Structure 1
Amino acid sequence: AAIVVDSFPPNQRGRAMATYAGISLLFLAAGPLIGGALVQYASWEWCFWLNIPIATAAITLTVALKLHIPRSVPRATDLASAIALCSGIPLVVIGLQDIGLRGWHAPGAWIPALAGAGLLAFFCRRQFRLTQPLIDLPLLRDRRLLGNALVLFCLQAINIGQAIYGALYLQTVLGFTPLEAGLGSLPLLAPVLVVVHFAGRFYDRRGPRPPILIGLCAAVIGTIIQAIGVFSLSYPVMAVGMTLLGIGCGMAMSPANADALGRVSPQQRGEASGIVQTMRQLGATSGIAATVMVMHFVPQTDELAPMAFSLGFGLHIVLAITALVCAWVLIRPSGHSSTPTT
């Protein structure tokens, strides 16, 4: 992402980031279809073989393009920070899943999550004290960068949760085949591919706040409608909610990503990109774990499955509202930015 932003002038970065995001979203849309077909007509193990040609093509293109990337000043890696980060995240994820499986009051259920949270708190505190931190968290003192990162965290948690548990719901509750479940996910993914390019042009003209707020409002409404459809066992209602959510994600994610990287100097852009991508991956992993935790508050029976899935999708409503509040409070026009808002 940092390379894309550095390659275009400020008034073209929205469209450039939209194209960048659109390519990844194209694969996200194709994944459920191809995966569903493989599961239905071959075997689920075949899904893992798909990564090999994609990775090979990515490596080949990277070498062939010979991109010129300015080298940064070498610096030492803080081992304590690396250990705390790499240990804390898995402990939090495992802990959240354990709480869901064993219950809030089970002895020791909270220990992994609390231990992981403690390690992550130590990591964050250490980054602000080091002169050469592993991840430059002091950049998050910029309110807009922080707001963009939180928006992307929440939306990534929603998207991954939708991709996994939406397909599971369609198969286990509504009785869809794997291929039908992949096709049933298109109302969520197809609008993103279209809207993301409009959002990029909108960002270039008006700045980040309008497209992000419009997108998040659509996402909130979409998650509410979808949760209603899940509880009422109505795929058409779900599809309406998924479409609105897809429009919302397409409107918000690309401008948030572009604005986050536009908030810093070119020398800091790699660090900012690292923070943004870390937040997105944290959103994905913690979103899956939190959804599992919430769903297991309901006894796992066929009769109560719609209620369990409704609780999981209810968490997505909370995440969408959280993203909207963060954007409203933190993403405001300010003087410090390398990206114009006109």
Structure 2
Amino acid sequence: MAPLLAVCAGYFMVILDVTIINVAVPAVGRELGASLTGIQWITDGYTLVLAGFLMTGGALGDRLGSRRVFCAGVALFTVASAACAGAPSAPALVAARLVEGLGAALIVPGSLALLQEAYPEPAARSRAFGLWGSMAGIAASAGPLLGGLLVSTVGWRWVFLVNVPVGAACLVLTARFVAPSPRHPDRAVDWPAQAAVVAAVTLLTAALNEAGRRGWSDPAVLAGLGLAALAVAGFALRERLARTPALPLRLLRSPAMGGAAVVGLLFNFGFYGMVFTASLYFQHQRGFSALRTGLALFPAVAVTMFASVLSGRLTRRTGDRPLVVTGMLLGALGLAGWAAAGADPAYPLLVAPMTAAGFGTSFALTGSTATVMGAAPRAYAGAASALFNTTRQIGSATGVALGGSLLASSAHYGSGVRLAMAVGALAYLLAAGLAWRCVPAGAAPAAAP
């Protein structure tokens, strides 16, 4: 249990910083004079770097040892959080958030790889992944409430300062209880492939962020989308030709690994896009305070811990496919319910849609995680974890960016939110269909060494 607690403490910080910032950004924008696009970059700069460098973090973990890279990420994340708290301007805060995202990119692949090493038996590993997912639920649940409480009392800078004691505790626990990881020094880091991933994520997120301000037909936006597509093609070509690819093509072509990774992208797109747009809607359209916004969002995140633990227990009986498909259908039903509720519905009508989306997303997380990690050889555990979490963070970044752009380009916040929720519901439906085809019906077999 001690290794699990140590690893999950680091992952807790990463997820907390995804959700805690949502209720704080209006206060940050007012104090630092940031525009809506600037607010998007404060939120998305973190997830952008996290998504872009996850593959690098996974490759470094496989080469240098997951524990060493994990600890380096925790240390960097903690220092960057302190810098965020002391940022004197919006550009300085964005820069510190970028560094924070780099630390998170070293933490996340190592967290799953360390659990893979500590719990090699499939049943124990499923339980560990369930608890890992529940830790994400706890962080997601605590984020809006804790953020609202801190902003309303001691100020938004404490949103980042809370990471400092958690990071210190994580380093102590990891050094004491987590065994050193095996190294594969012959595995060179494929820097051209890593650069292609960073370019693709950066260009895609930048284009979506700017679309709300410039318009979808603006040449800069279209150029960004086109260059992002070229970067993806360049990554695929490099992986085909590289002597030591970041992730072998035979693994990328695996229906279980590739399909579950895309499912992760789609459900993060739907869930985090919903949280971001709902947060802005509650504060700008309805005039809620930061604390009241956190309370309003609580139904969406309160069920995530319970759903992750429940799915971890059920997967040994049902296999992963029914749980992932069910979760995605619940998410689709929830966001479609919000879209159908009208431009300015009464708050009680939004409780069930938010609850369904939060429960469905976390219910599917354990099964999709186990599917990806079960399809990967142990020597590529870090790379497989990086692939899964890269696609998830790309989903988060694009969900936030697209949601913000839809709000900025709509004449009324309510209509923009409804459109964003409808797009999120479609993403959940696509994820359900993909999971039915790609996620194994039974428990995933143990990966080859």
Q: Which residue in the other structure is 1:178 paired with?
A: 290
Aligned with 1:163 (options 254, 260, 275) = 275
Q: Which residue in the other structure is 1:143 paired with?
A: 255
| Compared CA separation, residues 77 and 2, structure 1 to 2 (3 A) | closer
**237-246 or 287-296, larger mean C-alpha shift:** 287-296
Q: Which residue in the other structure is 2:41 paired with?
A: none
SS at match of 2:345: coil
| Compared CA separation, residues 68 and 109, structure 1 to 2 (3 A) | closer
Distance 1:44 1:335 in 2: 44
Residues 36-75 of structure 1: pairs in structure 2 closer than 5 A: 36-75=148-187
Deviations 1:258-295 (A, max 9, x none): 12101222223222112111111211112212222333
**154-163 or 17-26, larger mean C-alpha shift:** 154-163
Q: Which residue in the other structure is 2:431 paired with?
A: 323
Aligned residues: 335
Distance 1:324 1:335 in 2: 18
Distance 2:171 2:276 in 1: 27
What amino acid sits opposite 1:6 in the alignment? E
Q: Which residue in the other structure is 1:6 paired with?
A: 117
1:313 equivalent to 2:421? Answer yes
| Compared CA separation, residues 334 and 25, structure 1 to 2 (3 A) | closer
What amino acid sits opposite 2:383 in the alignment? E
8 Å contact kept, 1:209–1:331: yes
What amino acid sits opposite 1:81 in the alignment? A
Deviations 1:4-58 (A, max 9, x none): 2333311233222111111122112111111111212232232222222222222
SS at match of 2:354: helix
8 Å contact kept, 1:196–1:251: yes
Distance 1:334 1:206 in 2: 7
Distance 2:347 2:163 in 1: 31
| Compared CA separation, residues 135 and 203, structure 1 to 2 (3 A) | same
Q: Which runs of 5+ in 2 are unaligned?
A: 1-111
8 Å contact kept, 2:320–2:368: yes
Residues 80-159 of structure 1: pairs in structure 2 closer than 5 A: 80-159=192-271
CA positional deviation for 1:335: 11
SS at match of 2:162: helix
Q: Which runs of 5+ in 1 are unaligned?
A: none
What amino acid sits opposite 2:141 in the alignment? A
What amino acid sits opposite 2:182 in the alignment? P
Residues 298-309 of structure 1: pairs in structure 2 closer than 5 A: 298-299=410-411, 304-309=412-417
Q: What TM-score do you get using the length of structure 1 for normalisation?
A: 0.91
What amino acid sits opposite 1:253 in the alignment? L
What amino acid sits opposite 1:3 in the alignment? L
1:221 equivalent to 2:329? Answer no
Deviations 1:302-328 (A, max 9, x none): xx1100111122221121111111112
CA positional deviation for 1:174: 2.2
Distance 1:242 1:153 in 2: 19
Distance 1:334 1:57 in 2: 38
Deviations 1:56-112 (A, max 9, x none): 222222112142322224332233223222222111111122223211233433112
SS at match of 2:187: coil
Q: Which residue in the other structure is 2:306 paired with?
A: 194
Distance 1:221 1:162 in 2: 13
Q: Which residue in the other structure is 2:445 paired with?
A: 337
**65-74 or 92-101, larger mean C-alpha shift:** 65-74
Q: Which residue in the other structure is 2:20 paired with?
A: none
Deviations 1:175-202 (A, max 9, x none): 2211111111111111111121111111
CA positional deviation for 1:137: 4.9
CA positional deviation for 1:226: 2.2
Q: Which residue in the other structure is 2:382 paired with?
A: 270
Q: What TM-score do you get using the length of structure 2 for normalisation?
A: 0.70
8 Å contact kept, 1:99–1:110: no
SS at match of 1:322: helix
Distance 1:250 1:282 in 2: 17
Aligned with 1:231 (options 340, 343, 350) = 343
8 Å contact kept, 1:228–1:237: no
Distance 2:325 2:443 in 1: 20
CA positional deviation for 1:143: 0.5
Distance 2:206 2:386 in 1: 24
SS at match of 1:110: helix
Deviations 1:127-166 (A, max 9, x none): 1221211344541211111221111111112222233222
What amino acid sits opposite 2:423 in the alignment? L
8 Å contact kept, 1:200–1:254: yes
The sequence identity of aligned pairs, in percent, is 26
8 Å contact kept, 2:131–2:309: yes
| Compared CA separation, residues 61 and 175, structure 1 to 2 (3 A) | same
Deviations 1:209-237 (A, max 9, x none): 11111111111111111223462422111
What amino acid sits opposite 1:254 in the alignment? T
